[in-house]
Structure 1
């Protein structure tokens, strides 16, 4: 049986993202600080931000940008990213956000697949950006360097042209606003078509259980090029007239200095940052008392780890869940839900329906009267569900069914109060002698060991061809631990079929920019070994 969100439905205006965020802004709010550059301390108020967005939209239109044209945006977090992104959308264009860590080949692949006609980048990444642009036929005059570089227009150049923003018309429900690419942890990245309505809806949905306020200062360390950072940090904060403090990349010392110095109140993180907040001694050297809420997303947060962060900082820690195809959030623990376990991803967002479906039989699993349900694949339906994958009808059909449900590929259970818990990825479950072993469960357990800084688990074949759990372990500085001790630690705490049967010590666990463990990299290393 399907189950709906326990939250009341929210109104979703039929507007483009620019008009939704800024169309009804008050004179008082125009004077509020919108963006604070974490590197320089420079502040941009809402009046200036909107003027710059309109100028960029006008400059792009003067260069022939039409409604629906795709523009690449390849940059770490900065106030300039926000201006460029919203300038593209204000002019009717579609922004394809590109991972700042990409190689020239990766950038070229996304530019070609998306059909981008121009590219924004930054000077430290210019070499790979130019190489990629040349490969796909984007001329140098259409490679705009946000912070300026010889031979290229800068963002300041576009703004200085002072061209009025064009009048554009489109259907917010069908016009693609942003084209992020799925992480590709299990295959080739795919362009995810998210409409203006998708983005507007998700801001409205998240804003009910997680009410960011105008007097909040929100630290923006999660990358804007990832849909989590784009929607939950950038757009939600701007809609609520909060102030965003931008960080180009995570550095623990700078992170702590910014949180304490700028008195940040809301901090959105991925689990690797939570791990540092829970275990690194440097945290005790900073006053983080301004932080009232930490929200973790992008990958699964272990309950004990989240509780350790909450206890150490004396703050509320929440967990959410989503994926690019969901704009990205579909579930979250609300700020007022004090009794919900951090092992949960929370309740479904407003305006959504869920199903949990047995992947073997296709049967729907009912919400239990008490306790938790049997596990099954989580399906989600709502206004935040993507339009589809760009030029990939087959992949779209595999993910979106005829009834509008998005099949997440995640195994979940639900309890009687409609709190949902992710068990694992369908494709990542280890099958040991017919038993299912969730890697995430073992990773969470390993992280409770005081001498283990990080861990990842995959299935590998033993001499008999049986798939067995193997742990990749990162030790705390100065720690001494043997493989046998790691295996014994796990064996004492799990069922026999879940035991870790191989251990390898490594320096770092490979992770995506969003904090997801890159199991494919670990598997590739196994294959080479």
Structure 2
């Protein structure tokens, strides 16, 4: 495909990305790629509705710029408290797009474990789904969390939509640049201790490449991710589906689009369970 592409001012193809791999974070370059492929992007769906992949990728970039304006720095740890859903992926990708480390706080963990995970990683910011805003406020009282950003509205929390407001001075952070000090933080309890594990961008990108080779996703696939499985693999799989133009259904009980069926499931490891129907709708 690259034979006909040229570079230089005024020549066709000069705005095409140089590669199809994520740059700096799992969604780095995704927005540009989808803009160059109108009509070929997929969707991400949860129980509350669907979002086009391009809109999702653009929101990640806007929100990343918003976090930067609020003082988030490279390597900062940000907690993400939400069930498996589009909001959870949006939050994690946004944190990583600013060069931060997303700490996925399991909603199933007890309050003490959640608090200890936040304290151990020195998290100061928490992104939370609206239904868990009450728990987030409890955690803020017990930890060093200074700001809660929620999907929806909740007393004492900042709406996520505030991150999408334009910069007052017209300047802004560009998440399209390469960032390699980001990643995902996981944790587990070991006796009375909390053991944290950092999955760096390089690790996540390696999983992305392995899944791309092993699953051979196409734009006709429907990829389902639920509560079972490893979070690092989930993040890489959903990113791969978005880059491919596939449909993602996120969360237990989220049905596929009408007339289509799930072709790849993370249960708990990603596996192809059927081939897509070529005439399926996105």
TM-score, normalised to structure 1, is 0.43
The change in CA–CA distance for 1:30 and 1:51 in structure 2 (over 3 A counts) is farther
Alpha-carbon shift at residue 33 of structure 1 (Å)? 3.1
Asked whether 1:64 is paired with 2:71, we answer yes
Q: Distance in 2 between matches of 1:105 and 1:49?
A: 33
**Alignment partner of 1:219 out of 221, 224, 230:** 224
Q: Distance in 2 between matches of 1:224 and 1:216?
A: 20
Question: Which protein shows a greater Rg?
Answer: 1
The change in CA–CA distance for 1:29 and 1:241 in structure 2 (over 3 A counts) is farther
**Alignment partner of 1:263 out of 260, 264, 272:** 260
**Alignment partner of 2:184 out of 178, 185, 190:** 178
Which residue in the other structure is 1:33 paired with? 42
The change in CA–CA distance for 1:34 and 1:224 in structure 2 (over 3 A counts) is farther
Asked whether 1:207 is paired with 2:212, we answer yes
User: Does the CA contact (< 8 Å) of 2:43 and 2:242 recur in 1?
Assistant: yes
Alpha-carbon shift at residue 260 of structure 1 (Å)? 7.8
- Per the alignment, in what secondary structure is the counterpart of residue 67 of structure 1? coil
Which residue in the other structure is 2:153 paired with? 148
Alpha-carbon shift at residue 44 of structure 1 (Å)? 1.3
Number of equivalent positions? 251
Q: Distance in 1 between matches of 2:22 and 2:249?
A: 29
Q: Distance in 2 between matches of 1:227 and 1:212?
A: 18
Which residue in the other structure is 2:24 paired with? 16
User: Does the CA contact (< 8 Å) of 1:107 and 1:129 recur in 2?
Assistant: no
Q: Distance in 1 between matches of 2:138 and 2:216?
A: 43
Alpha-carbon shift at residue 245 of structure 1 (Å)? 1.2
Which residue in the other structure is 2:5 paired with? none
The change in CA–CA distance for 1:270 and 1:217 in structure 2 (over 3 A counts) is closer
Matches within 5 A, 1:293-308: 293-294=272-273
User: Does the CA contact (< 8 Å) of 2:229 and 2:267 recur in 1?
Assistant: no
TM-score, normalised to structure 2, is 0.77
Asked whether 1:195 is paired with 2:174, we answer no
Any stretches of 5+ residues in structure 1 without a counterpart?
A: 1-10, 274-291, 295-314, 317-529
- Per the alignment, in what secondary structure is the counterpart of residue 53 of structure 1? helix
Alpha-carbon shift at residue 228 of structure 1 (Å)? 2.9
The change in CA–CA distance for 1:96 and 1:48 in structure 2 (over 3 A counts) is same
The change in CA–CA distance for 1:124 and 1:152 in structure 2 (over 3 A counts) is same
The change in CA–CA distance for 1:83 and 1:259 in structure 2 (over 3 A counts) is closer
Q: Distance in 2 between matches of 1:14 and 1:220?
A: 20
**Alignment partner of 1:132 out of 139, 163, 174:** 139
The change in CA–CA distance for 1:136 and 1:146 in structure 2 (over 3 A counts) is same
Q: Distance in 2 between matches of 1:235 and 1:263?
A: 21
Q: Distance in 1 between matches of 2:229 and 2:161?
A: 20
Q: Distance in 1 between matches of 2:91 and 2:80?
A: 8
- Per the alignment, in what secondary structure is the counterpart of residue 92 of structure 2? helix
Q: Distance in 2 between matches of 1:266 and 1:83?
A: 23
The change in CA–CA distance for 1:122 and 1:171 in structure 2 (over 3 A counts) is closer
User: Does the CA contact (< 8 Å) of 1:74 and 1:100 recur in 2?
Assistant: yes
